[in-house]
Amino acid sequence: MSPLSRRTRVSAVAAVAALALAGVTPALGGSSAQADTALFAPRLVTVDTPTRADKELLQRLGLDLTEHAGHDYVEVVLHDATDLDALLHSGLGYDVRIPDLIARSVQNEQVNRAYAAATLESPLPSGRDAYRTLADYNDDLRELAAIRPAIAKRITLPHKSLDGRTVYGIEIGRNVQAAEDGRPVFVLLGLHHAREWPSGELAMEFAYDLVQNYGTDARITGLLDRSRVVVVPVVNVDGFELSRTDGSLVDLREVDAGGTVSLLGTPGNAYKRKNCRVVDGQDPIDGTCRVASATSPGGYGVGVDLNRNYGGFWGGPGASDVFADPTYRGAGPFSEPEIQNVRELISGRQVTTMISNHTFSNLVLRPNGVHPDTIGHDGLPVGNAPDEEALKALGARMTAANGYRNIHGWELYDTTGTTEDWSYNATGGFGYTFEIGPDEFHPPFPKVVDEYLGAGAYAGKGNREAYLAALENAVDTATHAVISGKAPKGATLRLRKEFSTPTWEGSFTDRLNSTMKVGMDGRYTWHVNQSTRPVVQDKLVEITEDQPVRSQSFQGGPTTVGQSVDHPFTVTETGIDVLQVDLDWPTPDDLDLEVYRKNADGSLTEVGSSGNSVNEKEQTQIGAPAPGDYVLRVINFASIAPSYTLTATLFDSAVVSSEEVPGLIETWTLTCEKDGRVLQRESVVVDRGQQVRVDLAECSRRW
């Protein structure tokens, strides 16, 4: 379970007390026996899912699952008493982690205001000290492009949102105003899910970083000379506008003669997840989304989950076909205009690496989104991605910078129709989801600063360094293909491919179509993705099971407040996936947990912690723990418990069986064109890491 600082817990109590002064009684943390339905506060709970069957059961309940999950738990937002009732009747156990999300919003906004008042300019590249609104994003994209038009231009995506808003992005690179010239493309996306505000902030800050440092930072300059970077910070413009507006607070002290109470003025959509689809197949009247969203708690019942609407494996596990469910997949693959925007962006360029930002869980997720032994569209197990080792290696490089866990998407729970599952399997470009931050959808803004620049052991690295590592992967010719040769100067070269993309219920026609201009020297070098899509490549299907490798328990006696007890634990095994540490005690008191790695000189480096509120047990997970000595520290924050039990468990994925499944070989169609006329057409087969030469002599002869 993710940690909450001690100061946060004290502030949360103060915020709840403030609400009580105004006659509002938020629900307090407790067990599943507390079915408090008279006055329900939206809350975040940790649901026990010790088996895969439990995770599948939870997904069928239609609840609002977060991306914070582990081997034996999934965190869920309960928006109203009906949600609580569904969870109670499922028989799944749970603990309350944030008992009142409205009270938490009050607390966070107070922190944000204090930070902004005390900060002239933050350490972020933009200097911002508060969350952006949608208007702020649009202004920043326009102004950033205006500052350095030679390397940055604002782009307008082709489809307006359902509520009639334009979606903007920014393209960054040397000589960016010129036509595509064959450089590889890196795409960074934010805010598919409306409530996940840091996902847009970090994308926007990376754009600022690149534009400001081109020409002065040798690393950034070299990367932008060899690539183009496209950043779309807000994919879900309608949902974010509602979430950000309703997530703002009305300070009643301004209207109650100097009173002491701060309340959330419009909580309705602060935790909205989806877009503004009101009725499938109908374009709503612009501006009606807010009214429609008022019909369901948190606005979560209205709309399509945009990260279940992509075509790859659309309609499978982890995506609901019920409109009111939080993970509703849409009426069909790519049914939503916001996702059509991303599809056309990636299909129209050679995107060799892509990251889609989300919150929260401190994770870097890679394809595929369903368990390898899940039976897919072809009647065979889906298996691992063909590039599993390379995807995992880049994930490890990025998580070394931000401290996140490097795992498959399915290790949370099965999902289909996600961004990277489609982009990777359709194009071959590496694709990842970042789950930013440990414990909240939109935490206090200072946490955003830390997530971008790094803090503690990751200070000076963070997601800034992770993004740069991804950009370096995008330009690395070992991770994509290169086609080069001679062609008439000024000719348009086109790479095209049309194919059938499998969904869980059938298939649809997909197209990739990108172009470049030949330079004045009559030579071209085009950095492209491989010609054979991963989804049809040879694959090794492995049937795996997550199994505990070893478990060790420690019994502790009574401690006094402020006292801590250290328990030594040694990891002797290599290649372990997760070290999970659980702390339990028999009374509703408050113990905390910290885990340290012992260094060669005897010093300790913190690698995990959990500091939850009263009556919430502690758990932390350390991804890919290195062999060596660890210290498991139990801290008495406010406890009179007579004893506690501390358990350290090592988990690994064991292969039960494996099978080689033969695949196909596909080709690119390369054409050389003048004024729209095709003068030469060639079929090109090229693999990842391969370079092929195609001289277009016929095109030159007919020019």
- Retrieve residue 2's tokens: 């993710």
Quote the longest CA-to-CA distance of the chain. Answer: 89
CA distances from 463 to 138, 197, 383, 415, 451 (A): 23, 15, 29, 24, 6
- β-partners of residue 486 are 523
Decide: 83 and 25 in contact? Cβ < 8 Å: no
Q: From the CA atom positions of the chain, what is the Rg in Å? A: 26
Q: Please name which of 388, 376, 419, 357 lies closest in space to residue 534, comparing C-alpha atoms.
A: 388
Q: Tell me if 560 sits within 8 A of 644, measured CB to CB.
A: no
Name the nearest CA neighbour of 389 among 570, 542, 560, 203. Answer: 542
Map residue 155 onto helix, strand or coil: strand
Helical packing angle, 134-147 and 237-246, nearest 10°: 120
Q: How far apart are CA 215 and CA 71, in angstroms?
A: 46
Question: Do residues 435 and 196 make contact, with C-beta atoms less than 8 angstroms apart?
Answer: no
C-alpha–C-alpha distance, residues 141 and 149, integer Å: 12
Q: Could you tell me how far CA 338 lies from the centroid of its own chain?
A: 17
Judge whether 435 counts as a catalytic residue: yes
> Pick the catalytic residue: 435, 440, 472, 618?
435
What residue type is assigned to position 248 of the chain? S
Q: What are phi and psi of 167, to 5 degrees?
A: -105, 125
- Angle at which helices 197-213 and 134-147 cross, to 10°: 10
Buried b (16+ CB within 10 A) or exposed e, 160-196: bbbbebebbbbbbbbebeeebbbbbbbbbbbbbbbbb
The length of the chain is 703
| Catalytically annotated residues | 435
